[in-house]
Structure 1
Amino acid sequence: MAHPTASVTVVVDGGYELAEGGRWVDGRYVYVDILSGRLFELHADAAPAPRQLALLDVPLGVVAPVHDRPGAWIAAVGTGIALLTAEGALEWLDRPEDRTPVPSRMNDGVADPAGRFWAGSMAYDGTPGAGSLYRTDPDGTVVRALDGLTIPNGPAFTADGTTMYLADTAAGTILRCHVDPVFGGLSAPKAFARLRDAEGSPDGMTVDEENCLWVAMWGAGAIRRYHPDGRLLHTMTVPAPHPTSVCLPPRGNRLLVTTARYGVRNPTAASGAVLSIPVPVRGTVACAWGASLAEDRVRQGNPADSGP
């Protein structure tokens, strides 16, 4: 059963169609509006207001910082993976979805503690099995790591980088894989959780400092927290039917949630917004592409004590 959340703050009422990919990077919250190709940052000040960092002419699924390139991002964008410069230009690494039989785009993704970037793809029409998960190694090589997915979301990694969680939203399934820490190979995916239609569909995810998994439940207006053994520990409601991503800053005990207006008949200020919710746990630092976890912690320094 879902438990109402006592205190939900609408931090940004942006009217975003499909806000997603919320990450804590260098003491700020970074997120995208996928279909409009926009990238935003939000700083923790007294009256936070988002600043647009980039506007692209193709959908922007997610970004991760690039090690040793301040202001640059690796992006799951359009039909592939590209470097997004501080000036807003795209330097393509590969466009694997140009070679697929149905029109497709990149979706959610994240950098792992070993400095690899993982991102999924999906067909615009939701063709079952048309989606894939790609791994971009620190040298820029793009590899298809999994296929046969429909709408991959996440992934999320444990702090040691050896376990990956991946949601297939359309299938209502959260998968778990072991990750080879050196080469990035994946074990055969196993079902971590299977959701019924009435429970919503798993979307963006993150792992907290206690190794528990937080999941945005598209269509259910809820956030779930799972123990690593698969037990559902808690469900909290949010005032928007389509939460899309969850982010736990390393300090401040706040959960930051993006939501979507897409498919909502009567949207409120909380749909297509950024929400903030007090929680009793924290997350870990966001990882950069091309950097090991130890290097990334040095790069991050000491993040701000509280989220927006």
Structure 2
Amino acid sequence: MEEVPTTVLCGERCHLGEGPTYDAATDTAWWFDILERRLFEARLDTGRTTIHSLDVMGSALGRIDAHRQLLVADDGLYIREPADGRMSLYHPLEADNSATRSNDARVHPSGTFWIGTMGRQAEQGLGAIYALHRGELSRLYEHITIPNAICFSPDGAVGYFADTRENALFRVDLDAATGLPRGAPAALITRRGDGGIDGAVVDADGLIWNARWGGGCIDVYSPQGEHLRSLRVPARQASCPAFIGQDLSRLLVTSAWQGMAEEAKRADPDRGRTFVLDVAARGRPEPDVKLAMD
């Protein structure tokens, strides 16, 4: 396990920290505590973190423009205005199924937003992955238990996603102009042993940076699925990474204490906190969500 310089960005413990993203225009990191319905806003230039209470169970967001975000929640997609926190429903998402909620999501270089859903109790096969392409929501994959690791190659020609329950990361060819599949997904990585494949992000060189839930680390893989590095995270249940900073060289990592017994909590004093790893990466900025044709 490789050690890199690591700091605590936010000491507030997340029950289920997830969905980190970074807005380079404002030097602001965003992430969620899904189960406690909280949205975190960290201004990196000032070091100030604000916690916003939500009326919905949010799990991810993408920037639309300087004045709007698209927030993914358990019953739909909401347009949120960061200036005052106002939210309005943009599109329902499994709103007629109270057994499911949203989970992992990420924006494709084309502006198409991939979004995962899952059972609230992680019921087998209850989840799915959707694509919001120019305002139209379509279901790409069904019968997924815990959708995670949604991310894309720098040129947009390859997509990745995982089912954490199966502990497998899948690769699929995409139309780079639309972010939609051009073929069937195939397993690229199947883990055995300590920890599960959770959230992931791809850097400018195409390397996949994957949080290992239960393994307390970030694993780095080549586009061919070769394991290159394992970087220690101070919390056992690392959940999702995002590149941050003006040069996108550092890695924000969320974590969680969901499902931990008291003994496990005592053994994991930094559980649920949010970290920054100085990894000297060549990160990529997150694309904006496109809601309609330009």
Structure 2-normalised TM-score? 0.90
**Equivalent residue for 2:9, pick from 8, 11, 19:** 11
C-alpha deviation, 1:82, in angstroms:
2.3
Which consecutive segments of 4 or more residues in structure 1 shift more than 4 A? none
Q: Which aligned pairs between 1:1-308 and structure 2 lie closer than 5 A?
A: 3-25=1-23, 26=25, 27-45=27-45, 48-52=47-51, 54-67=52-65, 70-86=66-82, 87-100=84-97, 103-138=99-134, 140-186=135-181, 187-196=183-192, 198-249=193-244, 251=247, 253-264=249-260, 265-266=264-265, 268-290=268-290
Q: What's the CA shift string for 1:167-193, capped at 9, x where partnerless?
A: 111110111111112344312111010
Q: Partner amino acid for 2:94?
A: E
Describe the SS at the equivalent of 2:180.
coil
What's the CA shift for 1:94? 3.0
Contact 1:159 1:211 survives alignment (8 Å): yes
Contact persistence 2:112–2:178 (CA under 8 A): no
By percentage of residues, which structure has more helix? 1
Give the deviation of 1:164 after TM superposition.
0.9
Question: Could you tell me how far apart the structure 1 residues matched to 2:265 and 2:216 are?
Answer: 14
How big is the shift at 1:269? 4.8
Structure 2 counterpart of 1:305:
none
Deviations 1:75-104 (A, max 9, x none): 21022222223433432233332344x600
Distance 1:291 1:92, change over 3 A: closer
Q: Give the TM-score normalised by the residue count of structure 1.
A: 0.86
Deviation at 1:291, TM superposition (A): 7.9
CA distance in 1, matches of 2:184, 2:117: 19
8 Å CA contact retained: 1:105, 1:122: yes
Counterpart residue type for residue 77 of structure 1: A
Structure 1, residues 91-124: CA drift from partner, whole Å, max 9, x if none?
2233332344x60001110111111111100001
Residue 49 of structure 1, CA deviation: 2.8
RMSD: 2.1
DSSP-derived class of the 1:266 partner = helix
| Paired AA for residue 285 in structure 2 | V
Whether the aligned pair in 1 keeps the contact of 2:248 and 2:284 (CA below 8 Å) is no
Deviation, 1:283, is: 0.7
**Counterparts of 1:126 and 1:15, CA distance in 2:** 22
Kindly state the Cα deviation for residue 216 of structure 1 after the two structures are TM-superposed: 0.2
Would the alpha carbon gap of residues 145 and 154 (structure 1) be closer, same or farther in structure 2, given more than 3 Å must change?
Answer: same
Distance 1:229 1:82 in 2: 36
1:104·1:123 contact (CA, 8 Å) conserved in 2? yes
CA distance in 1, matches of 2:96, 2:173: 28
Contact 1:79-1:98 at 8 Å conserved across structures? yes
What is the distance in 2 between the residues matched to 1:30 and 1:162?
A: 27
How far does the alpha carbon of each residue in 1:229-269 deviate from its partner, in whole angstroms, 9 at most, with x for none? 11000112222110011112361532211111212331555
